[in-house]
Amino acid sequence: MDPINHNAIEVNKLKKQFGDFVAVKDVSFTVQAGEIFGLLGPNGAGKTTLIRMLTTLTPPTSGAATVAGHDVVADPNGVRIAIGVIPQALTSDPDLTARENMTIHAKLYGLTGAQRQELIPRLLESVGLTEFADKLVGSFSGGMRRRLEIARGLVHSPKIMFLDEPTTGLDPVSRTAVWEMINKLKQGAGLTILLTTHYMDEADRLCDRIAIVDHGQLVALDTPAKLKDSVPGTDIVEAEFDNPPENWDAALEQLTGAASVANHSGVRHISSTSGPVTVRELMDLARDRGVTVRRVSVQGTTLDDVFLYYTGRQLRDAASESARRDIGYLYK
């Protein structure tokens, strides 16, 4: 497979309907070979359903998708052999050891004894589980299990990895470890990775390109930097001054790029289309007027802003919306 001009995943108007509820609405995108592609969205946005259709676990209602050149409906086994899947739920068997989990999976993929002997210790080593290889998985922490499952997903040397919310429920240290593993995979094995997440920082840090998913639809798709650039006027310049003169806020509003000024008990929040330019002018203005700048900082556009811009609401609001749907009876 040529990594440059071959799309690893092609999704064309994929749709999934459960009764009246449309979980995924005519989604189309392509993932290039060798990139880390992120599906970002709140719980209930349809990310897991989308990933299940691509990994042959759920049949699509309509539309088409090919994974590594195999159609997910017509040739599911071709897809299964080409992909490694780390589902959202922890699927390693707690009653077996790490090595046994790996062995059983390797056998299901048809690996020979010699291949297993060679690969399994190496994979366990790469996820830092060598000393726990013969311990029961039931005694593992969530992070260890997730790392084991990543190793297990690699046992048949797949071309494409699917990771459904790989760090949900993990502590910060384990999250960082999983991120490092994912980066290493991309660099080392040249894998194509499709992951879903509802963490902005995770998407920002790992993904080459991000698709924002909301209510089963793709609302934006680009690199993290371009997505942030596409959102107007959302750098925030935060500044504090000693003895600011009268009409100081009005003067601040005249700065290049400044869109609005808000005074939060002495701390000015200037929203700007270009943070660095506004800061330079602010410093000049303060010097000319003899105002002492006690503190100044620029907060660039975050993916939170991007999400807000494209969906009209904060990701955390979307999350509580879906929580309300899940545990609505608690609100009544």
The residues binding another protein (CB under 8 A) are 52, 55-59, 77, 80-81, 83, 85, 87, 89-93, 95-96, 100, 104-105, 107-110, 136, 149, 152
**91 vs 157, beta carbon nearer another protein:** 91
| Least distance between another protein and beta carbon 249 (Å) | 56
> Rounded to the nearest whole angstrom, what is the least distance from the CB of residue 88 to another protein in the complex?
8
Q: Both tokens of residue 87?
A: 């589902």
Cβ-based nearer residue to another protein, 96 or 285: 96
Please provide the DSSP assignment of 198-246 as one string. Answer: S-HHHHHHH-SEEEEEETTEEEEEE-HHHHHHTS-S-EEEEEEEES--T
Q: Is 183 helix (H, G, I), strand (E, B) or coil?
A: helix
* Residue 234, both tokens: 């959302």
Q: Find the shortest distance in angstroms from Cβ 147 to another protein.
A: 15
- On the CB side of 59, CA atoms within 13 Å amount to 4
CB 71, min distance to another protein, A: 15
Question: Please, which residue, 73 or 259, has the CB nearer to another protein?
Answer: 73
Name every residue whose Cβ is closer than 8 Å to that of residue 247 and which is 6 or more positions away in sequence.
Answer: none
- Report the residue number, 60 or 143, with the smaller CB distance to another protein: 60
Nearest-approach distance from CB 16 to another protein, in angstroms: 12
Closest CA to 166 of 180, 181, 146, 138: 146
CB of 101 to another protein, least distance (A): 9
Q: What is the DSSP letter of 317?
A: H
Pick the closer one to another protein by CB: 52 or 228. 52
**Dihedral sign, Cα of residue 320, residue 202, residue 72, residue 216:** positive
56 or 126: CB nearest another protein: 56
Q: Nearest approach, Cβ of 177 to another protein (angstroms)?
A: 21
Distance CA 44, CA 319 (A): 8
| Angle between helical axes of 142-153 and 113-126 (0-180°, round to 10) | 140
Q: Minimum Å distance from CB 100 to another protein?
A: 6
- β 192-197/160-164 pair status: parallel
Tokens of 124: 């366990």
Q: Specify the residue, 22 or 57, whose C-beta has the smaller distance to another protein.
A: 57
Give the Cβ contact number of residue 195 at 10 Å. Answer: 24
Q: Which is nearer to another protein, 156 or 198 (CB)?
A: 156
